[in-house]
């Protein structure tokens, strides 16, 4: 598929990595990293594993202050879906900045256009069944609002969430996040949250049987909701990522989301789909759940909705569950007018350039390349995903599936030196989480795959050298 020029080529700084320093980080990056360590709070995380300082970015290329250019398979944690500093989206932003920036929740033409675009991109049969509400500027706030609305509507308190799920770092959002490492020093969050297994096929007790994997997870959910001896009172809602993100880019087994909704509604429980990372065309469809032909009661949106990185979050929910009144959920910066303009620009860009089809095509192309690598390297246990939300799980042995987080760390470090960025996640921190800008080109994918392959080869070469040195030392 390799081409010299693609319709999206002009939206990137380049289409390949270019490392000009002897090592990453370079000298100026080192200075800024040291300054950050001295004057910024210790909660900083990303530069700890990807140590460099950013100067500029365009498309799927990030340039650091030393002049190194990296291929970005991270997209600001799945935020810049139409690419860094997309000039067509920025034209909407610049025009809006000259007219109006802050308007609380007053109606504006800009906001009404954004709401109409959100609703227009839902399945046609249900577009008139939903409405949109804005809260604070982060995905966590959208989750807080969704849980609040569910509790107000049902008059109940409990929430069921899923193992491997991630929903944010504020109180309620963190309470429904599965990773206990985030909560180990917190004595209390919201009460009555219960976790149940996600349909994680690669690590299901039923091994590779999709139907058995789905049934296992659904049976556990039914037990919680329908067995009066489960110990759990009827909850207000079930919250689930349509595709798990931080958990390892795990798409559910077909039919799983559909049966969650069916079981929940049979038991008078609301369903929240967290589409903060999997939504806004990340899978090719506007919402990941649309790949499975199912819609919930409430949808949380953020990340990609801000076009090129402007902060915004939204709830999309069925009109029939409207239960709160004026001021029941507010935020000074809800639906910032510049962020709304960026959303409008991103929607129009996606339609103009048929980004939906491109995302599906590039996702298939990238998956094919990764699967070929998995056939070459025995420590690639699983390659999975939808569109351009892909997970590559590394293991010590394909038969035992023992996680290999140490290898992932080595791979990320090696790729960084060659000019490739990706995030690490998964239930065991052993998954390459690949979420590039949706405008990535075939050339860029080829270059990224080449860097991954070179890095694996370098790591294996180092291992062989260490083994030989050990043998020599024995003599």
**pLDDT for the residue numbered 5:** 86
Higher per-residue pLDDT: 81 or 473 = 81
Per-residue pLDDT, averaged over 336-362, amounts to 98
pLDDT in tens, 277-308: 999 999 999 999 999 999 999 999 999 999 99
pLDDT of residue 330: 87
What integer best gives the mean pLDDT of the chain? 95
Whole-model pTM: value is 0.96
Yes or no: say if 433 and 170 are a contact pair by the CB < 8 Å rule. no
Q: What is the pLDDT of residue 209?
A: 86
pLDDT of residue 466: 60
Is the pLDDT at 386 greater than 80? The verdict is: yes
Q: How confident is the model at residue 472 (pLDDT cuts 50, 70, 90)?
A: very low
pLDDT at 464: 60
Please give the span between the terminal C-alpha atoms of the chain, in angstroms, as a whole number.
Answer: 52
| Token pair recorded at residue 84 | 């860094």
**3-class secondary-structure state, position 214:** helix
pLDDT digits (tens, 9 = 90+) for 389-406: 999 999 999 999 999 999
What mean pLDDT comes out for the span 309-324?
Answer: 97
Q: What DSSP string describes 179-208?
A: -GGGTTT-S--SS-EEEE----GGG-TTTT
pLDDT tens digits for 99-108? 999 999 999 9
Give percent of the chain above pLDDT 70: 96
Does 474 score more than 60 pLDDT?
no
pLDDT at residue 264 greater than cutoff 90: yes
pLDDT at 27 over 80: yes
d(CA 183, CA 189): 9
Q: What's the pLDDT score for residue 187?
A: 85
Reduced to 3 states, what is the DSSP secondary structure of residue 66?
coil
User: How high is the pLDDT of residue 470?
Assistant: 45
Q: Among 288, 369, 286, which Cα is nearest to 73's?
A: 369
Q: What Rg, from alpha-carbon coordinates, does the chain have? A: 23
């Amino acid at each position: 598929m390799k081409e010299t020029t693609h319709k999206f080529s002009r939206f990137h700084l380049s289409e390949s990595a270019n490392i000009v320093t002897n090592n990453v980080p370079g000298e100026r990056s080192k200075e800024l990293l040291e300054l950050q360590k001295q004057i910024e709070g210790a909660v900083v995380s990303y530069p700890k594993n990807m140590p460099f300082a950013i100067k500029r970015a365009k498309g799927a290329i990030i340039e650091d202050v030393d002049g190194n250019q990296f291929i970005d398979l991270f997209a600001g944690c799945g935020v810049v879906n139409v690419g860094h500093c997309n000039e067509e989206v920025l034209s909407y932003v610049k025009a809006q900045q000259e007219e109006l920036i802050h308007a609380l929740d007053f109606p504006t033409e800009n906001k009404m256009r954004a709401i109409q675009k959100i609703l227009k991109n839902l399945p046609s049969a249900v577009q008139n069944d939903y409405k949109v509400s804005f809260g604070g500027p982060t995905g966590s706030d959208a989750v807080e609002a969704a849980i609040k609305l569910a509790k107000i509507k049902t008059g109940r308190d409990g929430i069921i969430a899923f193992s491997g799920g991630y929903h944010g770092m504020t109180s309620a959002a963190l309470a429904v996040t599965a990773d206990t490492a985030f909560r180990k020093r917190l004595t209390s969050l919201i009460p009555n949250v219960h976790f149940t297994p996600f349909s994680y096929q690669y690590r299901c007790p039923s091994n590779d049987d999709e139907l058995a994997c789905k049934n296992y997870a659904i049976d556990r959910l039914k037990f919680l909701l329908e067995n009066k001896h489960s110990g759990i009172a009827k909850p207000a809602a079930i919250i689930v990522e349509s595709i798990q993100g931080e958990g390892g880019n795990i798409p559910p087994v077909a039919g799983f989301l559909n049966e969650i909704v069916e079981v929940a509604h049979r038991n008078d429980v609301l369903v929240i789909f967290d589409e903060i990372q999997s939504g806004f065309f990340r899978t090719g469809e506007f919402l990941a759940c649309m790949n499975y032909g199912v819609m919930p009661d409430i949808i949380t949106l953020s990340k990609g909705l801000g076009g090129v990185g402007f902060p915004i979050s939204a709830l999309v929910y069925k009109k029939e569950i409207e239960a709160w009144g004026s001021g029941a959920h507010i935020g000074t910066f809800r639906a910032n007018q510049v962020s709304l303009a960026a959303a409008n620009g991103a929607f129009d860009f996606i339609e103009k350039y048929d980004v939906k089809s491109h995302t599906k095509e590039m996702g298939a192309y990238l998956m094919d390349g990764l699967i070929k690598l998995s056939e070459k390297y025995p420590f690639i246990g699983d390659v999975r995903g939808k569109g351009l939300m892909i997970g590559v799980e590394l293991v010590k042995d394909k038969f035992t599936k023992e996680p290999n987080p140490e290898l992932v760390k080595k791979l990320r470090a090696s790729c960084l030196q060659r000019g490739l960025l990706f995030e690490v996640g998964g239930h065991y921190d052993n998954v390459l989480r690949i979420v590039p800008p949706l405008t990535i080109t075939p050339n860029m994918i080829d270059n990224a795959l080449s860097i991954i392959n070179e890095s694996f080869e370098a790591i294996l070469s180092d291992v062989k050298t260490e083994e030989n040195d050990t043998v020599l030392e024995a003599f």
